[in-house]
Amino acid sequence: MKFILPLFTLKNSYLLVLLTAISALPVAAQTANFGTLSLSPGFKPAQGTATGFTGGSYSLSTIANRDRTNSPCIGFGDTNPDHILILDKGFERLKVQVDSQGNDTTLVIKGPKDSISCGDDSGNNKDASIESANWQRGTYQVWVGAIDSGAKYKYTLSVQE
């Protein structure tokens, strides 16, 4: 006796395999404009860099008006995060710094449990930075914005202990 599967079942099986493979990818990795940056234990100090450019008219204050320390979340960027930061362990202290050659940039970082950190000018420089304590292990979405809507600035993002 020959057993033949109907054609629609085979098509559905292929579709199911494809959807399963897609859903296995981390959601954040599917939507980052410039990719993923990971910090892992074992490297002292832990550090990494990524590049990208600002641009967009999406108000980053839509993500949050203020962060966990009551700093304002400002600037304009894209609706998708620019980078995904994956911390393979918790870090006592991290600094996230934008270098756009002194252009007026901003930062919004959304972490585990929807924790928000926002940064603007750092010192005498118009480039944004965030330096804070108690970074939990997990996935963080990072938006690098510009103070002016639509402004395009090439930048390097650095993360270090």
Residue 138 CA, distance from chain mean position: 12
Q: Specify the pLDDT at position 40.
A: 79
pLDDT in tens, 56-85: 999 999 999 999 999 999 999 999 999 999
pLDDT in tens, 42-61: 666 778 999 999 999 999 99
Domains of the chain with CATH codes = 28-160 (2.60.120.380)
* pTM of structure: 0.79
Question: Concatenated DSSP letters for 53-104?
Answer: E----EEGGGT-SB-TTS-B---EE-SS-SEEEEESS-EEEEEEEEESSS--
Question: Concatenated DSSP letters for 10-40?
Answer: HHHHHHHHHHHHHHHS-HHHHH-SS-EEEE-
d(CA 140, CA 155): 19
d(CA 78, CA 150): 9
